[in-house]
Amino acid sequence: MMDIQNSSKIKAIFFDIDGTLISFKTNKIPDSTQKAIESLRRNGIKVIVATGRSINTLAHISHIEFDGFITFNGGYCATTTGEILSKKIIDPNDIQNLINYAENTPLSYSLMYEDKVEINDATPEVVGMYAHVNLPVPPIHDKENIDIHNVLQANIFLGPDAEQEFMQTVMPNSTASRWTPLFADVNPGGISKKVGIEAFCGYFGIDISETMSFGDGGNDISMLKFTKIGVAMGNANENVKEIADYITEEVDNHGIERALIHFGLL
């Protein structure tokens, strides 16, 4: 477990959104978390979002000032002024394979672009997932007019047991991660939140030894392992807690504030 001395030189902290900054119970950021972020920035620490969400679905955190956004699990990184640090699309062949597969086998999926999200159907599972993250259900795409060349992320609604075979046979040039048994995030091969952290460390001139991160899902593992201090929320998946340097309380029990106090950052 990391001690307070190891946090004395932290210059940047990366935060997942759903289940970390935002409570699944209230769909809000706790007041203690908002105040903690404000305090960190006043003290000169960069505060950067690291999420699987798209860049155009961050309105619910727009009332808080951040220093940058890692979105699409690292596939699209932008500063608060709109400067794009990195952007990578999924191999169009993988997207076409996904579309063809779903034509013959029951499979729900979403395609996420820089400026929109589209789905192939609106099953109860799909509707329930978007409600879970407090987002409107995206429109169903026109099967005759799908843009396969600009997809930054896909969500595939299949269970963990079927994921490996699906990825190997249908989307071999992409990588999957998940924070729920309901679906997996699919990103370009080699993309992860770790890649986004590297982009921002380079941009701000920060060494990885000066970083900290908070997360709760499988798509946060690369981030928590890469930063100097990786903190798992109390509500995190067990595989996330296993690799974390420190486990804090749940979102609704002031987990972020408590961890920052523990490490002497508040």
DSSP annotation string for 165-193: HHHHHT-TTEEEEEEETTEEEEEETT--H
At residue 8, the pLDDT reads 66
- Percent of the chain residues topping a pLDDT of 90: 86
Residue 11: is it exposed, middle or buried by C-beta count within 10 angstroms (0-12/13-18/19+)? middle
* Amino acid 70: pLDDT: 98
In this prediction, residue 178 carries a pLDDT of 87
> Which domains are present in the chain?
4-88+191-262 (3.40.50.1000), 92-188 (3.30.1240.10)
**Res. 5: pLDDT tops 60:** no
CB atoms under 10 Å from CB of 167, counted, come to 19
Q: What is the pLDDT of residue 6?
A: 58
pLDDT single digits (tens) 188-208: 999 999 999 999 999 999 999
DSSP string of 107-132, one letter each residue: -EEEEE-SS-EEES---HHHHHHHHH
Q: Minimum mean pLDDT among 9-18, 175-184, 187-196: which range?
A: 175-184
**128: its two tokens:** 């329930």
Q: What is the pLDDT of residue 26?
A: 92
Judge whether 74 and 192 are in contact, CB under 8 Å.
yes
Residue 166, token pair as written in the block: 């699906």
Q: Say if CB 212 and CB 231 are below 8 A apart.
A: yes
Is the pLDDT at 181 greater than 80? The verdict is yes
Report the predicted TM-score, pTM, of the whole model to 2 decimal places.
Answer: 0.91
pLDDT at 7: 63
Distance CA 201, CA 141 (A): 37
What pLDDT is stored for residue 184 in this prediction?
94
Asked whether 50 and 196 are in contact (CB, 8 A), the reply is: yes
DSSP the chain: ---GGGGTT--EEEE-TBTTTB-TTTSS--HHHHHHHHHHHHTT-EEEEE-SS-TTS-GGGTTS--SEEEEGGGTEEE-TT--EEEE-PPPHHHHHHHHHHHHHS--EEEEE-SS-EEES---HHHHHHHHHTT-PPPPBP-TTS--TTS--EEEEE--HHHHHHHHHHT-TTEEEEEEETTEEEEEETT--HHHHHHHHHHHHT--GGGEEEEE-SGGGHHHHHHSSEEEE-TTS-HHHHHH-SEE---GGGTHHHHHHHHTT--
Taking only Cα atoms into account, the Rg of the chain, rounded to an integer number of angstroms, comes to 18
What are the pLDDT digits (tens) for 52-92? 999 988 988 999 999 999 999 999 999 999 899 999 999 99
In this predicted structure, the answer to whether residue 3 has a pLDDT above a threshold of 60 is: no
